Structures are given as structure tokens and as C-alpha cells.
Amino acid sequence: MLLMGGDRIDEAVAHAAKVLRAVADRDWNVKAGGLDWSCLKTAEHIAGDFVFYAGQLTGRAADTYVPFEIALDEGTGPEGAIEVIEATGGMLAAVVRTTPRGVRAYHPYPSGAADATGFAAMGVAEVLLHTHDIARALGADAEPPADLCEAVLSHLFPHVPPTPAGGTPWTTLLWATGRGTLPGRAALVPWRWHNPLSLPAGPVVLREVTPAAAMDLAAGGTGGLTWIDGGPFDGTRRAAGMVTKAYFAGVHRPMWGLYAVVRAADETAVGGMGFHGPPDENGCAEVGYDLAEAARGRGYATEALRSLSRWALGRPEVTSLLAVIEPTNTASQGVVTRAGYVRLPDRDANHAYGLHPA
């Protein structure tokens, strides 16, 4: 399973410590590969990221970075730097494990916040990539386990096409972060990772489902969520399968896939909602949704659809939204009507509803 958490941080730190200890007897004052920092400064940066990410979560930073930084004591050498990476990595892993689900803290990409799994993924990415930078300068190999690279890619780089034939998840991650090349792909400059979007919707919150979570849902798992009795419903699992298929086909676009509808009061997932894909050439995006039976009749779907529609219509590439509903599904027709959608000509014997910007 590719979901992110404290165990992934522990695994990445153990890998980094093993790689770095093998070159601890070399000169760490040389520049790390591809960076302007020395190897020792790069190690300090890894530890600083761990503490910084932990501080964002424990401080519940809402709209800025917590104003502090860490530095190695003067005279610290390679072995001491590795010990600091291990210690600070353990701090972040502990914070990730104990941060309540739903807590989000400031991080600029792409929407101003990330949850504990997002900070875990960023911490894993930082230690893997900067360990590579150090090892590259010192003439050592730093390739991590493939499943660890796949977990980072599926969480932070959902926009990156899957590993091509002849490549590995590690070479794909290096390409995705401007550190390597892949046959048939232009250099990715600039590069940026993606943290899942979260949209408030009254009593519920829409949480973007990562490809990793979608794979788990499609396979019968929970997607890392706590579900209401009877959930997730069949439509949510089918939508997760669509995200998974699009991801492996290289056509998945972040924010235009599946969202979990999560009850804000207790962080219980009650359904799924999202898009059938990005807007088409005319700027139309099709929406779909379902709720577990135990969550119906409470207005959750209507509030979630209003929020998701408002967000989508605020995007410059969107000109309209479409919902196609079976004629017998009167409850779903009521949801779109209450959310402001209007009846359109039928589509293949199904009722169609549309919404345009005000």
C-alpha cells in the first residue's frame, strides 16, 4: 500500500542513514550535486525540513511559516549530521502519527495548506532527494526502495506520467524534481509538487483523493479514511477506479478527480464526489457523486456540490458544469437542483443538468 505516514518517514530515514554512513569518511565540505550548498549544509537542510514540517503541524500554522530554524552545532561532522537527521526524522514521524486527522497547516503548494500525510510525503521526498544530492557529490549510489519512490510519486506528483518502459520509480522521481532525464520526455523545469486540495462545505469537507488512496479504495480498502457504516458506496469505488486508470494512463490531472466527502464534526467519510476528468475543449467539466446510505437525507451532498461547483466555476479554464443523472434517481436530481443546476436536454435517455458562472 502506498499511503503516507510515520512508517514511511522511518523507512526513508533508515535508507538515508545507511547511504550517508557509507560516505561519512569523505569530505562533506564539497558542494552537493546540483546544489550551491555543501554536503554538510545539505544534511542540515534535511534536518531543518523535518523540524519545520513538524512545527507547522504542532503549531497549527494557518497562513505563514512558524518563524524558527535549526542549525548544526559548530564543528559538527558527517556522523553528527547523520544523527541529527535520524533524531529529527523521528520527531516528524511522531508528530505525523499523533496529529488528528483533518488538521491542516500552512504550506504554499498548491492551495496554502497540507495535512499530516502531506507533510510526511514532503519529508520523505526531501530526505530521499537530498541524500541523493550528497551521495552524488561523494561518488555513491543512493537509490531508495521502489515502493517508497512510488508512494512519493502517487502522493506529491499525481500529474507526472507513470514510469516509462526501461525506467524505475526512482528515475521518474529524479526527473520529476529536475534531477534526471527520461527517454522521450523534456526536462521538467520548473518543477513543483502537489498537495491534495481541501474544500470546506458547511457540515462536510471535500478532501481530494490521491492516486495512492484511489488505488486502495478501488481495491476494496478505506483509502486511509474512516468511513460511516455502509461506506464507501459502490459509486465511490468506481470513481476511485477511474482515477487509478487515468493515473496509470498518464492523463490524470490533480484536482479534477475524486474527492472524499468527510463529515467535519468527526472526520468520518460519508461519500465521494468529483469530476469525470478535467474540463473538455469547451471548458465543460462533468460532476458525479454518491453518499453511503446512512448519510443520506442530511444535506451533505447539496452542500458539497455547491462548494465543489463554486470552486470549479472560479477556475479560468471552466465555462460550465454538467451532471448526468438516471431518470429514476430523483434524490440526486434534487441535489443538483438545490445546488443551482438547471435542466438541459436529455443525454442518452438520462437527465442532464448544467451550471454556468453567475
Give the span between the Cα atoms of 304 and 314, in whole angstroms.
16
If pLDDT is split at 50, 70 and 90, which confidence band does 1 have? low
CATH of the domain at 172: 1.20.120.450
What is the tally of structural domains in the chain?
A: 2
Question: Tens of pLDDT along 165-210?
Answer: 778 999 999 999 999 888 888 888 889 999 999 999 999 999 999 9
Statement to judge: residues 203 and 343 lie in one domain: yes
Cα 357 to Cα 80: distance, rounded to the nearest angstrom = 58
- 93 inside domain: yes
| Tens of pLDDT, residues 60-88 | 999 999 999 899 999 999 999 999 999 99
Would you say residue 187 lies in a domain? no
> Residue 105 has what pLDDT?
96
Residues 205 and 171 in one domain: no
Average pLDDT over residues 291-314: 95
Helix (H) or strand (E) holding 106: none
Taking 90 as the threshold, does the pLDDT of residue 154 lie above it? yes
pLDDT of residue 243: 96
Please report the pLDDT score of residue 85 as a whole number: 98
Tell me: the pLDDT tens digits for 304-319?
Answer: 999 999 999 999 999 9
Find the domain containing 104 and state its range: 6-176
Sign of CA dihedral 339, 344, 348, 349: positive
306 contacts 328 by C-beta, under 8 angstroms: no
- The residues, ordered by sequence, that sit 6+ positions from 175 with a Cβ below 8 Å of its Cβ are 160, 181, 182, 185, 188
Q: Do 245 and 159 have their domain in common?
A: no
Instruction: Report, as an integer, the average pLDDT of 326-335.
Output: 95
Clarify whether residues 155 and 288 are in a common domain: no
pLDDT of amino acid 109: 81
On whether both 211 and 278 belong to a single domain, the answer is yes
pLDDT at 113: 94
80: left (phi over 0), alpha (psi -120 to 50) or beta: alpha
Q: Are residues 51 and 151 in the same domain?
A: yes
Query: Over 70: is that where the pLDDT of 150 sits?
Result: yes
**pLDDT band per the 50, 70, 90 thresholds, residue 130:** very high
Say if residue 42 is in the same domain as residue 116: yes
Residue that wins the pLDDT comparison between 192 and 162: 192
Q: Using 50, 70 and 90 to split pLDDT, how confident is the model at 156?
A: very high
Residue 204 CA to residue 275 CA, distance in Å, equals 18
Does a structural domain hold residue 347? yes
* Same domain? 39 vs 143: yes
Q: What is the chain's mean pLDDT, rounded?
A: 95
3-state secondary structure of 234: helix
* pLDDT over 90 percentage in the chain: 89
149 and 260 within one domain: no
pLDDT at 2 over 80: no
Element at 271 (helix H, strand E): strand 268-275
CATH code, 350: 3.40.630.30
